[in-house]
Structure 1
Amino acid sequence: MEVAGAIDSHSVGEDIGMVCDMEQPLEIPVMSDLTMVLGSISQSKARAVVIDFTDASTVYDNVKQATAFGMRSVVYVPHIQLETVSALSAFCDKASMGCLIAPTLSIGSILLQQAAISASFHYKNVEIVESRPNARDFPSPDATQIANNLSNLGQIYNREDISTDVKARGQVLGEDGVRVHSMVLPGLPSSTTVYFSRPGEVYSIKHDITDVQSLMPGLILAIRKVVHLKGRIWCMVWKSSCRDPNCSLTSFVYC
């Protein structure tokens, strides 16, 4: 793989290699015109994939343009709305072009979600504690995704105080009692811990991100997967394929 173009509203005219602190320039300037860049890349015979790190409000138009030039897209945009995903799904199905929407690019985060789903069949108490080095939208997309996955399994958690509105008990996501506690602690890595418990036992799963380089293996995997997709929106999230606690089958699911 190699970088073929760079589009942004910032650093226009600068070499993308220098912007990314590479040792050598890539001789690829950052441009603000998406159509111009896609048109230039489409003239080559190489298979191209567009990586969208922009904003939820622009994703649909970006994917639409990429598809018009025969390119598939990998989208990593926090807080993308389900309405946008549905619209993209209908568009890609009509165009017979696949797209991959990744709520996370961290393989460790996906494994954490998978482990949490497996554990949820054996515990009735679960809480999520997360920390981030700076203030962002809370609960984070990772914590929200984990809570939603657990809530979709038909379990009821934390029955003892599921109805309490004491703020110190954290925020309940969904109707199944999954509580999330969010902390902002400068100097700490981005961290997510899921605690499960029952009388006499506590089971915890923790995932830390100390450097954004950890997202690259997931991004490369997404690029390799998306070139084989046709007419579907795939979401890069592991979910259990059945509700039997003895079933270990998992699969990529699509919206």
Structure 2
Amino acid sequence: MATLSCQFHLAIHRLPCNARVRPSFSCSVQPSQSNIKVVINGAAKEIGRAAVIAVTKARGMEVAGAVDSYCVGEDIGKVCDMEEPLEIPIVNDLTMVLGSISQSKETGVVVDFTKPSAVYDNVKQATAFGLRSVVYVPRITVDTISALSAFCEKASMGCLVAPTLSIGSILLQQAAISASFHYNNVEIVESRAHATDLPSPDAIQIANNLSNLGQIYNREDLSTDVSARGQVLGEDGVRVHSMVLPGLPSSTTVYFSGPGEVYTIKHDITDVQCLMPGLLLAIRKVARLKVTDRIAEYTLCLSSSILFRTLQK
């Protein structure tokens, strides 16, 4: 496909006062840049369906494959309740999809929404076909990230591991780090409608970010033998309280206190759609990674600013 670009030139010459100035136009046909081919692994999940819709609507990228063990053979557009089918059937063979994209020689990205035990093999397959990966899988272990880092270093292929895709969650964590240098007391309170693992990955991430900053929190109450006081994460005294009730929004609140004041930071998630802006930014970022950028963890690009921490560079 080619795009039509027009340039407007206004040339003014010394003419009589009653003469008209006529603008001149020139048009040229230029080849357009190809879209990023995106494969959604875990496409039948709620977050996978939202990702399919978001990628379809996004500029500069397109859905090139849908992989899942559910709804196999069904059109992913229909599964996502889109107005028109995408003519992309859901398949349960990642290798087949990767093979078809690698033959096109275009930039490809695999978004992995599967499970911790499958991440390493999925990234390995994508890398073998020349595709980069964005991994958003809760509870992925440090050992898996280390293994991915070593593998991507040998393969010279970029990979992005995102503990969260929520821009609001990133901003909350950044604000919490800034506040930690000014307050000696902090506790995290989270609520979830349903939860199997507590504290949640978000709460653990916040606690980890607040740790090892040279601060010991809640010095007046360092005891850990009272269950009602919540769980202490790390050795710096950060407490987490988890509340699980059906109907509650997914919420994380960080309370800081000092003499005469309480500083509260809160973030609520009401729909999986909140993860889509972060996902699109992550796809664009990993597609631009150079071969020297092996693997990135906890990555999000926020418009003009970049919150980006690399394990290896």
Q: Normalised by the shorter chain, which TM-score bucket? A: over 0.9
- Show the counterpart of 1:253: 309
* Counterpart Cα distance in 2 of 1:202 and 1:123: 9
Asked whether 1:59 is paired with 2:119, we answer yes
- Show the counterpart of 2:67: 7
Report the residue type matching 2:248 in the other structure: L
- Show the counterpart of 1:169: 229
Which segments of 5 or more consecutive residues in structure 2 lack a partner in the other structure?
1-60
Report the residue type matching 2:178 in the other structure: S
Query: 122-131 vs 161-170, which deviates more?
Result: 161-170
How big is the shift at 1:42? 1.3
* Counterpart Cα distance in 2 of 1:118 and 1:32: 45
- Show the counterpart of 1:69: 129
How big is the shift at 1:233? 1.3
Higher strand share: 2
Do the aligned partners of 2:282 and 2:299 also contact (CA within 8 Å) in 1?
Answer: no
After superposition, what is the alpha-carbon deviation per residue over 1:75-116, rounded to whole angstroms, capped at 9, x for unaligned?
A: 000111111111111111111101000000000000000000
- Show the counterpart of 1:233: 295
Query: 172-181 vs 19-28, which deviates more?
Result: 19-28
How big is the shift at 1:135? 2.6
The structure-2 alpha-carbon separation of the partners of 1:181 and 1:215, relative to structure 1 and needing over 3 Å to count, comes to: same
- Show the counterpart of 1:95: 155
- Show the counterpart of 1:34: 94
Which segments of 5 or more consecutive residues in structure 1 lack a partner in the other structure?
239-248
- Show the counterpart of 2:15: none
Runs of 4+ in 1 over 6 A off after TM superposition: none
* Counterpart Cα distance in 2 of 1:225 and 1:160: 44
Percent identity of equivalent pairs: 80
* Counterpart Cα distance in 2 of 1:237 and 1:110: 9
* Counterpart Cα distance in 1 of 2:209 and 2:229: 21
* Counterpart Cα distance in 1 of 2:306 and 2:275: 21
Match of 1:154 among 214, 217, 221: 214
How big is the shift at 1:21? 2.1
How big is the shift at 1:223? 0.4
* Counterpart Cα distance in 2 of 1:188 and 1:23: 31
After superposition, what is the alpha-carbon deviation per residue over 1:17-68, rounded to whole angstroms, capped at 9, x for unaligned?
A: 1222222111101101111111011122321100000011010000000000
Do the aligned partners of 2:112 and 2:137 also contact (CA within 8 Å) in 1?
Answer: yes
After superposition, what is the alpha-carbon deviation per residue over 1:204-247, rounded to whole angstroms, capped at 9, x for unaligned?
A: 00000111011000000000110122241101258xxxxxxxxx
* Counterpart Cα distance in 1 of 2:201 and 2:195: 13
Report the residue type matching 2:145 in the other structure: V
- Secondary structure of 1:134's counterpart equals coil
Report the residue type matching 1:178 in the other structure: V
- Secondary structure of 1:192's counterpart equals strand
- Show the counterpart of 2:196: 136
Report the residue type matching 2:308 in the other structure: F
How big is the shift at 1:195? 0.2
- Secondary structure of 1:80's counterpart equals coil
Asked whether 1:117 is paired with 2:173, we answer no
* Counterpart Cα distance in 2 of 1:205 and 1:92: 36
The structure with more radius of gyration: 2
Q: Which has the higher contact order (CA 8 A, sep 6+)?
A: 1
Do the aligned partners of 1:110 and 1:237 also contact (CA within 8 Å) in 2?
Answer: no
Query: 1-10 vs 14-23, which deviates more?
Result: 14-23
* Counterpart Cα distance in 2 of 1:63 and 1:7: 14
**Structure 2 matches for 1:167-246, cutoff 5 A?**
167-229=227-289, 230=291, 231-237=293-299
Do the aligned partners of 1:135 and 1:184 also contact (CA within 8 Å) in 2?
Answer: yes
- Secondary structure of 1:4's counterpart equals strand
* Counterpart Cα distance in 2 of 1:62 and 1:190: 29
Do the aligned partners of 1:237 and 1:253 also contact (CA within 8 Å) in 2?
Answer: yes
Task: State the superposition RMSD in angstroms.
Answer: 1.4
How big is the shift at 1:251? 4.5
Do the aligned partners of 1:108 and 1:207 also contact (CA within 8 Å) in 2?
Answer: yes
